[in-house]
Amino acid sequence: MTAAELPPGAETVSIPAPRTRTNTQRRSGSRSNTELYAWLFMRVSGVLLVVLVLGHLFIMNILDGGVQRINFGFVAGRWASPFWQVWDLLMLWLAMIHGTNGLRTIINDYTRRDQLRFSLKMVLYTATTLTIALGTLVIFTFDPTIN
Amino acid sequence: MSAISTPRASGDSLDAANTSNSGTGRSRFGGTLYRGREGMWSWVAHRITGVLTFFFLFAHVLDTALVRVSPDSYDKVIATYKNPFVNLMEIGLVGAVLYHALNGLRIIAVDFWSRGPKLQRQMLWIIVAVWVVVMVPGAFFMFKHSFESLFGSS
């Protein structure tokens, strides 16, 4: 494209050509296929979550009348069925890992200082681990006769 | 421009995504598959809706975990959600999740379907149309109870 074709004031943007990665360009620590598996996981878990989460939202917010109907007894009724326990457990794990990997990508994209990037990711992984552990514990140890 | 004509594995389909000005990497209105216009803005919206949903998820696991504390503490917290303001936020959450889900399927089509990159723009407008068709009745049914409590129909 020549400069004459551009509108006045527009700047040309040159996009560097994609480079073929050679072994000499590989840094140590990037020899695994972790990023490939992370990319694949986002797509596989994404498809499953479309069913699990949209189903959850549709049932909870529309079919079952929304938050107005929700109380301890409602939860007890739902988790009396192993089907919904497995549904919620799968949704918890997949959504948490999917979201964590998404936020990991965003942290990698926007942080420049190595120390900050590392710290933010450690906060993220800690919060994720605690939340998955808490949610899993609650589903497995739920007691409808707690009082 | 040599930058775009460099051979690569998926070069054919990516170039095909730019409707004209072949070789410049720009579509008719400026922008490429990922820079400017629908490709970029759908990506921006995907990030924002994803982050919002993820932060909600932490709160949602925590509030549900109260069933392990006592029925009373769970019911008390859930009671604070039963008002029209939180109801509107729920509709916003459903809208964000629905966009993220539909656009995620579009991304999968771009990645795995041979005609995906070429049709990415059309697919965006299709998912926007699906989003509107689902959200209009969805928001109606979700807000029904709040509407009745606000304006007092029986």
CATH assignment of the domain containing A95 = 1.20.1300.10
Phi, psi of B116 (to 5 degrees): -55, -55
- Closest CA–CA distance from residue B92 to any residue of chain A (Å): 12
Give the chain B residue whose CA is nearest to the CA of A58: B138
Instruction: Identify which of A67, A131, A146 has the shortest CB distance to residue B78.
Output: A67
Rounded to two decimals, the pTM is 0.79
Does A12 fall in a domain?
Answer: no
Does A27 fall in a domain?
Answer: no
pLDDT in tens, B57-92: 999 999 999 999 999 999 999 999 999 999 999 999
Question: What pLDDT was estimated at residue B153?
Answer: 59
Distance, in Å, from the CA atom of B74 to the CA atom of A144, rounded to the nearest integer, reads 13
3-state SS, one letter per residue, for B130-150: HHHHHHHHHHHHHHHHHHHHH
Does A57 fall in a domain?
Answer: yes
Q: Which of A98, A86, A97, A100 lies closest to A56, judged by CA?
A: A86
How many folded domains does chain A comprise?
A: 1
| Chosen CATH of B33-151 out of 1.20.1300.10, 3.40.50.300, 3.40.630.40, 3.30.70.1400 | 1.20.1300.10
Does A80 fall in a domain?
Answer: yes
Contacts of A144 in chain B (CB under 8 A): none
CB B116 within 8 A of CB B30: no
Give the chain A residue whose CA is nearest to the CA of B44: A106
Contacts of A38 in chain B (CB under 8 A): none
Contacts of B30 in chain A (CB under 8 A): 10
Sign of CA dihedral A57, A63, A68, A71: negative
pLDDT in tens, A74-129: 999 999 999 999 999 999 999 999 999 999 999 999 999 999 999 999 999 999 99
Does A20 fall in a domain?
Answer: no
CA separation, residue A136 to residues A47, A112, A133, A143, B54 (Å): 22, 35, 5, 14, 17
pLDDT in tens, A28-79: 556 789 999 999 999 999 999 999 999 999 999 988 888 999 999 999 999 9
A111 Cβ contact partners less than 8 Å away, ≥ 6 residues apart: A117, A120
Task: State the count of interchain CB pairs (< 8 A) between A and B.
Answer: 121
Contact flag B58-A127 (C-beta cutoff 8 Å): yes
Range of the structural domain that residue A109 is part of: 34-141
Does A17 fall in a domain?
Answer: no
Question: What pLDDT was estimated at residue B15?
Answer: 41
